[in-house]
């Protein structure tokens, strides 16, 4: 009974001093020879008890080492992802510029002028005439002339 009174007194003192007046972050429950404090924000459990005339508290689920390692790994992964994201954004910007140039590019694709087409047609006409002349000569019998 004395312990419950001491526990109640301790809880009221902590609340009065503002240590627990934090919008319900902590929950305190009696446990055997002391109490257990639950940090609702982090999930940390602490067992507090009176040893001789002093109160001592011990973390029950201290996984801070593992948690810190996990947080560190997540921070490293986030930094790597940020670098990759920046590189990809730069690459996408360059590709979008190239695409814009291609889409706006009728002036980039130059069609031959009428003079160029006339030159090419003249070349093919001469080539065709020479081919026909060759075919005619190939059909002639030796000694014949047409």
Domains of the chain: which residue ranges? 2-62, 67-105
Entry pTM: 0.32
Task: Say whether 7 sits in a helix, a strand or coil.
Answer: helix
Residue 3 confidence (pLDDT): 58
Given this model, what pLDDT does residue 9 score? 54
User: Residue-wise pLDDT tens for the chain (146 aa)?
Assistant: 455 555 555 655 555 444 544 578 889 999 888 899 888 887 788 889 888 888 888 888 766 667 778 888 999 999 999 999 999 999 999 999 999 888 876 665 678 899 999 999 999 999 999 999 999 988 887 766 65
**pLDDT for res 51:** 86
β-sheet with 45-51: strand ranges across: 26-31, 34-39, 45-51, 54-59
- 3-class DSSP state for residue 54? strand
20 CB burial (10 A radius; 0-12, 13-18, 19+): middle
Reading the block at residue 34, the tokens are 């002391």
- Give the pLDDT score at 10: 60
Residue range 97-132, pLDDT digits in tens: 999 888 876 665 678 899 999 999 999 999 999 999
């Amino acid at each position: 009974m004395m312990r419950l009174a001491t526990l109640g007194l301790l809880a009221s003192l902590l609340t009065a001093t503002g240590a627990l007046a934090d919008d319900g972050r902590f929950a305190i429950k009696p446990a055997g020879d002391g109490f257990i404090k639950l940090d609702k924000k982090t999930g940390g459990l602490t067992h507090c008890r009176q040893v001789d005339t002093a109160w001592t508290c011990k973390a029950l689920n201290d996984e801070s080492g593992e948690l810190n390692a996990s947080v560190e790994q997540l921070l490293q992964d986030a930094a790597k992802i940020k670098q990759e994201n920046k590189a990809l954004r730069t690459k996408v910007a360059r590709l979008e510029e190239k695409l814009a140039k291609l889409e706006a590019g009728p002036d980039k694709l130059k069609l031959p002028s009428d003079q160029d087409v006339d030159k090419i047609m003249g070349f093919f006409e001469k080539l065709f005439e020479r081919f026909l002349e060759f075919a005619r000569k190939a059909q002639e019998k030796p000694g014949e002339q047409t």
